[in-house]
Every structure is written in C-alpha cells, then in structure tokens.
Structure 1
Amino acid sequence: MNAPLYNMDILRLAANIPHHKRLADPQASVEKRSPVCGSRVTADVRMEGGKVAEMGLDVKACALGQASAALMAAQAIGMSADELADARDRLTAWLAGESETLDFWPGLAVLAPARDYPARHPSIRLGFEAIAEAARMADA
C-alpha cells in the first residue's frame, strides 16, 4: 500500500457531506449500520419521475464512511433506483477485488487506500446501500 488510509482529501469530504440534514417528509427512509464498527447512515428520499428529487442524510461513521457518503450524495440527485443499485453493487465488487474499475462514480479513487482494509468496507458501503434501498422503496 502506497497511500495513507486517511488523507486530506478523505478528511475534506468527511467534513463536507452534501444533503446532511434529514428530510421532513420523505417518501422512504432507510438506516444502514455496520456491525463491524457501529457506523450508521440514514438516507431519506423523495422521488419524482423515477429519479431522486430530494435526499437527506444522517451520517454517524468513521471518516471513510463519511467520505463515501459525501461522494454518493454529491451525485445521487437525478438518479434512478436502478442506477443507484448498480452503483452500490459495483462499489461492493470493487472493494472485494472483483472489479478494477471505478468509472461508475466520480471521486471514488480517493478511497483506494481503504481497499486493503476489509474491516472498513462495510462503513464505506453504507451510504450507497442506504440510498439505493430508500430509492427502491420510494419508487415502489
């Protein structure tokens, strides 16, 4: 491993999570929790025309989980439940070493040092898992 696990880019992302406020009247809310470290992400969504129109997050996670949630939140508005589920699945595959590409979501390369730390993977996946499930529920 050539890069430190926590770097300035990750810390900046962790400190600046977009949509970091719960929605007052969401169509769906999902909380995901990592049993490994206790990190937790709650995602609220409102959908319009099959796309995320509004979202709100409550993120209680390590810096890696916060950074991942920030990256997710910066792009999720305007995406469909299927697109978010695909991103969740591709992130999971990349973390597991089953894929080498990160071209499906801008900025994820900043998390590359964490790939060598499987205990951190559940926290990194939380935001993507929560928004994908919330979007699916709201779209149903």
Structure 2
Amino acid sequence: MSDSDLVKLYSGRILALAADIPHLGRLPAPTGTSRKRSPLCGSTVTVDLVLKDGRVAEFAQDVKACALGQASAAILGGVILGRSPAELEAAREKLRAMLKDNGPVPTAPFEGYEVLIPARAYKNRHASILLALDAACEAASLSA
C-alpha cells in the first residue's frame, strides 16, 4: 500500500467518524451481547443491546479496532436505535456486498457507509469494517 493509497483510505471523514463513536461503553443489563474479533488484524467489537417491541431500544459498544472499524462502529451507532433485527441483517448484507462485490451503498438510514467505499480494494480491512454490524446482528438474535 503506497502512501497516497493510505491517504485516500484514511480520509478526514473516516478519521472524524473514528474519533466520535456514539454509544461507547457497556450496558448494565443487556438482553443480548456479542463480541466479534477479526483474526487478521485483532480488532474487536463488543455490542450490548436491549430489544423492546422488536426494535433496538438501548445500545452500547466497546470498540477496539482500526480507524476503519471505528468509523463503521460510529456509523452504526448513529442509526441503530429504533432498528429491527431484520433491518440490521439487511444492512450487514448490503455492506458486505458493497465491500466484496462492488455492490451499491446500503440504503437509508445506513447510507453513511458510503464513506468506506475506498476500502473495497483492501480485502484485509473488510472484516474489521463488518465487525460492528456482525456483533449487532448476533446480539439482536440472542435478544429476540
């Protein structure tokens, strides 16, 4: 990876997201918890959530990831409240397709993931980007 590639990948917008992750921490009484780890880079995300009436009512995340994983967690943290498990699953599949198959950006309210389009070319970063949504989907399934 050249220096110019790194500059493109770690844009100011990605770094700003990584610096301001919503809902950091842990919940005292979650109904679902999941910890996901990327074996390639060692990034981890732990998600706690509470589902009420089939929607995410409370959410917290402990993020130990690279800037791309942090940016992804920030995007998720900004839109997860009020979402159903099915919406989270759909967003994860769309994000995976965007990264791996050059698919379109996930639809609203997950369109913020478009900032991560430059990461398509870096397959070794995909797992870290998917961690927060993977953990949220699993926590929601355990909570249902």
Q: C-alpha separation between the residues in 1 aligned to 2:143 and 2:63?
A: 20
1:134 is aligned, of 112, 120, 139, to 139
Going by fraction, where is helix more abundant, 1 or 2? 2
Deviation, structure 1 residue 102: 3.2
| Structure 1 residues 1-140: aligned runs within 5 Å | 4-97=8-101, 99-104=103-108, 105-139=110-144
- RMSD of equivalent CA atoms: 1.3
Long gaps (5+) in structure 2: none
TM normalised by structure 1 equals: 0.94
Contact 2:38 2:127 in 1 (8 A): yes
Query: Residues 101 and 10 of structure 1: is their aligned pair in 2 closer, same or farther, counting only changes over 3 Å?
Result: closer
Deviation, structure 1 residue 103: 2.7
Deviation, structure 1 residue 111: 0.7
Deviation, structure 1 residue 28: 1.0
Query: Residues 15 and 101 of structure 1: is their aligned pair in 2 closer, same or farther, counting only changes over 3 Å?
Result: closer
Q: C-alpha separation between the residues in 2 aligned to 1:83 and 1:57?
A: 18
Q: C-alpha separation between the residues in 2 aligned to 1:14 and 1:80?
A: 25
Q: How many residues are aligned here? A: 138
Superposed CA deviations along residues 49-89 of structure 1, whole A, max 9, x for unmatched, are 00000001000000000000100111010001111011111
List structure 1 runs of 4+ shifted beyond 4 angstroms.
none
Q: C-alpha separation between the residues in 1 aligned to 2:16 and 2:105?
A: 23
Q: C-alpha separation between the residues in 1 aligned to 2:92 and 2:113?
A: 12
TM normalised by structure 2 equals: 0.91
Long gaps (5+) in structure 1: none
Superposed CA deviations along residues 105-126 of structure 1, whole A, max 9, x for unmatched, are 1211111111110000000000
